[in-house]
Amino acid sequence: MVALIKDPEKIRQHLPWFLGSKVRLFLYFLIIFSIPIFATVSLLEHQIRGALQQQSERQSKVAARLVAQAAVEHFEGLMKYAESYSRRAFLASAYANKDGGNIEAQLRQLVSQNVTIDRAFIASLKGIEEYDYPHDPAVIGKDFSYRDWYKGVAASGRTYLSGIYKRAGAPQLDVVAVATTLFDTNGKALGYLVLQIRTKDVLYWLDQAQPALHGPVWLADQFGRVLQSPTTSPLENILSLEERQKALTTDLMLHKTDSLTGVRYHIHSVPIPEIGWSAAIGIPERAICAPMAPLRPISLLIGITLFIILVMTGFISLHWMGNYHKALVFHADDAQRSVAFLEKIINSIADPIFVKDRQHRWVLLNDALCRFMGHAREELIGKSDYEFFPKDEADVFWEKDECVFKTGQENLNEEEFTDSSGHVYTISTKKTLYTDKDENLFIVGIIRDITEKKRADEALLKSTAELARSKAEREQLELFAYVASHDLQEPLQTIIGFSDLLDRDGQCSNKDAPLFIKKIRDAARRMSRLIDDLLKFSKTIRQIECFSEIDLEKSVKEVVADFEPKIKQVGAKVKIGHLPKIRGEASQIRQLFQNLLSNALKFCQADPVIEINSKELPDKEWEISVRDNGIGFDQGHAERLFKPFERFHDRKQYEGTGIGLAICSKIVMNHYGKIRAKSKIGSGTTFFVVLPKLR
């Protein structure tokens, strides 16, 4: 080509149609250069437009999912917070006793400890508001059974997140309500605890991310009502109610135009099934195509200058290549801005967030995760769990990740986490599978430190159990004192009565004296047995200072050996299965099975069989069963069975003081266990003893 330009005569010799015309030569170069340039520019514009749209779709999809996950964490935290308060025995007791002062104090504490909550109140099971904080006399006594929060929690029986509504109390703001059932200590529903959150507080984190965003972010509730940031371009003007309701159950990628402003948006909406809402990201089409703006004048300039390509071929080529380079740089800068926008969103979230590739390497982290692990981002990117955690912890993380990669199912579980300083935390990790357009698999994970929450929950459960135990002990002691005084009176009155008869002259004959003496002796023996049993029962009341490991199977076999004469006397068969090792007080555990075996031998029938077995329960407990084929009892009397001095049979028919099973109940309570009985008249009885596992 250069040779042809330098030597036109050579053109004339080899290409006859060029001869004698410089105009033809100009047209030749015009055609040669204009067609490929025009085709290249058009193709480039088309490819860049397509790439920008694909990038926008990926960006909006990831952003929508992150917004959805942040909304889930935000609202689920409030729901769990409400549930923790609804299970407090003090609040339930105050409400049951209509103690308004204590209720207000509890509600004030609830509101003050969480800045997101604007107002809290308690409504009856019929939806009548009874107590609130801050106090508003105008709404006390109002019927709110028409509200969405009441219908949701009453119908499902679970904690419920309402839609957006304007509250009745002053000031009348748009709010979202979290409603949960308030139970008493027996699990009976007393009313509903309701927390109100102002919508502007829900939008706070959206406003934080807004400066880096080209378009609005929307959250839509289950009824299609919308929260958004910024307030321009309301979603109601862009998506129909039918489309907003469809977005509650499926991912949507739509191209819609705002009916008021005329702005066309690329909208990506994802459902949030955990709370029944949806999240959407809208990016204006003009923002997506903004990188194309510099190329349009260039294309026009190229069209105008095609006529002078012959004299400026090199200049035009260099000029075009320079602008092509600028477009690529602008595209790269836009991609970099998109990454910065995504990083700003995830860095604004307080919980640690990470993204892992299929090789389990971290490819994206937020600041919270770096702080949580105690390492810089540069130290973590491209590395796996095995380079930072103990092998046993890394194995667990790897196994959970593989489960998500292979099944595609979301994973939510509790794990142990060791940071760089060696501190061990309990964390709740939520992992979701994400597949990009190239079918590459990634895991998006959110971590929440629940160490303090677990400790608080355990302390609350322990305090509740201790309170219930103390109450049961007090009631049992009161009953014990009352019944003991009554049962001790009977043999004493017998002794005093017959002694008086012997003492009075002429009141009895010599033949009556041996009978009276025998009755006095029998009454004294009954009193002796009763005093011995009272002594045994009193020993179970004392606090056990130290538990030791007990081989239950060995201990039970020793008890059976002690009863060998009685077993042979009644002709009983005792079968002992495998029994575990537990922690407890050896003498009390021995007394427990002595009383149960004695009970089985006392109330036996012909060919008695006694079976002692164990079963492992899922809640870190053992269930030991003592089964016989004796006379049994009416199951309707099972609640009386473990009360002191309760007897279902006449003393003449079956001897005893009625305190043996009460001792069993107290021993089991001392070992943080439970005991119950299942029986049928004539078909035998089974006692079930549940004790904690050896730790």
pLDDT number for residue 601: 87
Same structural domain, 524 and 601: no
Res. 503 pLDDT band, cuts 50 70 90: low
- Quick one: 109 and 122 in the same domain? yes
- Which of 541, 561, 582 is the endpoint of a domain? 541
Residues 693 and 613 in one domain: yes
Q: What pLDDT shows up at residue 69?
A: 84
The secondary structure of residue 375, as a DSSP letter, is: S
The answer to whether residue 630 scores a pLDDT higher than 70 is yes
Give tens-digit pLDDT for 7-41: 444 444 444 444 444 455 555 555 666 676 667 76
Answer yes or no: do 132 and 37 share one domain: no
Contact 572, 608 (CB under 8 A): yes
- 368 DSSP assignment: H
Residue for token pair 């105690």: 374
Whether residue 145 lies inside any domain: the answer is: yes
Residue 437 burial (CB count, 10 A)? 9
Which CATH number goes with the domain that contains 179? 3.30.450.20
State how far the alpha carbon of 338 is from the alpha carbons of 193, 263, 404, 467, in Å. Answer: 43, 21, 27, 56
Q: Residue 9 has what pLDDT?
A: 43
Give the residue numbers spanning the domain of 143: 87-202
Q: How far apart are CA 266 and CA 40, in angstroms?
A: 27
Looking at the fold, whether 569 and 682 belong to one and the same domain comes out as yes
CATH number at residue 635: 3.30.565.10
- Residue 374 pLDDT: 81
Please check whether residues 508 and 465 belong to one and the same domain: yes
Whether residue 564 lies inside any domain: the answer is: yes
* Residue 298 DSSP SS3: helix
Distance of CA 24 to the CA centre of its chain: 80
> Is residue 81 in some structural domain?
no
Higher per-residue pLDDT: 373 or 97? 97
Q: What is the 3-state secondary structure (H, E, C) of 420-486?
A: CCCCEEEEEEEEEEEECCCCCEEEEEEEEECHHHHHHHHHHHHHHHHHHHHHHHHHHHHHHHHHHHH
Distance CA 363, CA 441 (A): 12
pLDDT beyond 80 at 89: yes
For residue range 303-328, what is the model confidence (pLDDT) as tens digits?
A: 566 546 544 654 455 445 445 546 65
Out of 1-5, 361-365, 483-487, 621-625, least confident range: 1-5
Q: Are residues 527 and 572 in the same domain?
A: no
- How many domains does the chain fold into? 5
Q: Do 119 and 137 fall within a single domain?
A: yes
Q: Does residue 553 share a domain with residue 407?
A: no
277-284 β-sheet, strand order: 226-229, 217-220, 277-284, 264-272, 252-257
pLDDT band at 143 (very low <50, low <70, confident <90, very high): very high
User: Which span out of 227-231, 331-335, 562-566 was modeled with the highest average pLDDT?
Assistant: 562-566
439 and 584: one domain?
A: no
Which contacts (CB < 8 Å, 24+ apart) does range 411-417 have? 414/450, 417/389, 417/393, 417/447
40 and 185 share one domain: no
Please, is 375 exposed, middle or buried when counting C-beta atoms within 10 Å of its C-beta (0-12, 13-18, 19+)?
A: middle
Of the residues 488, 512, 541, which one is the last residue of a structural domain? 541
pLDDT tens-digit readout, 167-217: 888 888 889 999 999 988 888 889 999 999 988 887 776 666 554 555 678
| DSSP 3-state percent helix, strand, coil across the chain (nearest 5) | 50, 20, 25
Cα–Cα distance measured from residue 505 to residue 5, given in angstroms and rounded to the nearest whole number = 161
State pTM to two decimals. Answer: 0.39
**Domain CATH for 502:** 1.10.287.130
Residue finishing a domain among 424, 449, 474:
449
Percentage above 90 pLDDT, the chain: 14
Question: Among residues 443, 433, 337, 363, which one has the least CA distance to residue 56?
Answer: 337
E strands in 285-334: none
Q: Is residue 72 part of a domain?
A: no
* Element (DSSP H or E) covering residue 495: helix 451-503
**267: Cβ–Cβ under 8 A, 6 or more apart, which residues?**
60, 238, 239, 252, 253, 254, 255, 256, 280, 281, 282
* Higher local confidence (pLDDT), 563 or 453: 563
- Whether omega for the bond prior to residue 291 falls within 30 degrees of 0, making it cis, is no
167 and 187 together in one domain: yes
What kind and span of H or E run contains 615?
strand 609-617
Q: Which of 448, 533, 519 is nearest to 484 (CA)?
A: 533
Q: Round to whole Å and give the CA distance between 636 and 650.
A: 19
